[in-house]
Structure 1
């Protein structure tokens, strides 16, 4: 055990503010693995999770002099990483404005991103009400995907329709939800609707 690894987070942060690279390295070694694992739960992509870890610690180093952490260092780092992961999802949606972008985003949204359980339940109830207004086929496809976590292929077999039809119905359902909840950040809708299974 090195001298730095035996320091508390508070001591390491004070040294970090003074530009101590060893203190920065000790914080990185202490937390990068947990942050990476949590980012993977959201993004389901090794490269994207690695990007989140890199962006987070680059930001910590660049802002070291004015870094203000209220509460635990671990909490600060994990919260910051979570928002970076959400931002990654939102960027992909903006860059890929088509069916695949939404599928990709929903595949990756697997962690409760809403801080308040009550807020999540209210949002879920609102989404359920929108689902009830959907055309019957759209609602059936969407619920099989959302509630039963079936893939597009599984739904197509179950309903005797094409995978392309399933994909279109799910996409249209998500567009309808988004249209009716346009004041809610898309990442929160993604997190609340469901963790989309990988297609296959």
Structure 2
């Protein structure tokens, strides 16, 4: 086995050949610092832990494609970053999630005013997209995401079926996710984490 903390070309060769002990060693070397890195982005322990597991599943599944051992560090952290940003993109259409980020100080305590400006731009963009939704979708979205009502409660309030409520939410979220410019939030997170 390699000296602790030292990833060698031989270790990577063993990983590429499906050696589970080599994989375990790499996991042991990276899992804690990877968790810290992801937690800075997501501010959620359970989600950060899930992403760490996903990263190592991805590494195992693509072990035969791992090249230069000196690039392993950036490869692992790039996968982690991409998974984290992907999770944020899935949740970004929710105003509640934007507020969660704000309260978690991801943007508020950033070292420059740029992040707050970008956060405000992103919030405005979400509001603008919501205003473009068809009236019924807008109504359902508002009742569910902003008032916290369940699909059943919304169905009773609007006199429609629970399935119809669900369909409206699915369409609304699909529209929002497909049209939002998440690069604003990605830039803000980058400023917070690295500058």
Global fold match (TM > 0.5): yes
Scaled by the length of structure 1, what TM-score is found?
0.54
1:61 aligns with 2:31: no
Asked if 2 retains the 8 angstrom alpha-carbon contact of 1:86 and 1:187, the reply is no
Task: Note the C-alpha offset of 1:100.
Answer: 1.1
Aligned position for 2:116: 146
Corresponding residue for residue 161 of structure 1? none
Q: Counterpart of 1:72 in 2: which secondary structure?
A: helix
Q: Does 1:186 align with 2:185?
A: no
CA 1:51 to 1:176, structure 2 compared with 1: closer, same or farther past 3 Å?
Answer: same
Q: Is the Cα contact below 8 Å between 2:12 and 2:69 reproduced in 1?
A: no
Change (3 A) 1:91 1:176: closer
Distance 2:186 2:128 in 1: 13
| Alignment size in residue pairs | 136
Task: Give the match for residue 173 of structure 1.
Answer: 124
Aligned: 1:80 with 2:75: no
The offset of 1:90, in angstroms, is 0.8
Over 3 Å counting, the alpha-carbon distance change for 1:12 and 1:109 in structure 2 is: farther
- CA deviations on 1:111-163 (whole Å, 9 max, x unpaired) are 9xxxxxxxxxxxx6xxxxxxxxxxxxxxxxxxxx927x9xxxxxxxxxxxxxx
Q: Distance in 2 between matches of 1:184 and 1:146?
A: 21
Equivalence map 1:1-200=2 (5 Å):
3-6=1-4, 8-69=7-68, 71-93=70-92, 97-104=93-100, 110=106, 146=116, 173-175=124-126, 186-193=181-188
How far is the alpha carbon of 1:92 from its aligned partner?
1.6
Aligned partners of 2:90 and 2:9: how far apart in 1? 34
TM-score, normalised by the number of residues in structure 2: 0.55
Distance 1:33 1:190 in 2: 25
Consecutive unaligned residues of structure 2, counting only runs of 5 or more, are: 108-113, 131-177, 191-195
**Structure 1 residue 51 displacement after superposition:** 1.0
Q: Which deviations, in whole Å up to 9, do the C-alpha atoms of 1:28-53 show, x marking residues without a partner? A: 00011111000000000001110110
Is the 8 Å Cα contact of residues 39 and 52 (structure 1) preserved in structure 2?
A: yes
Q: Which runs of 5+ in 1 are unaligned?
A: 112-123, 125-144, 150-168, 196-200
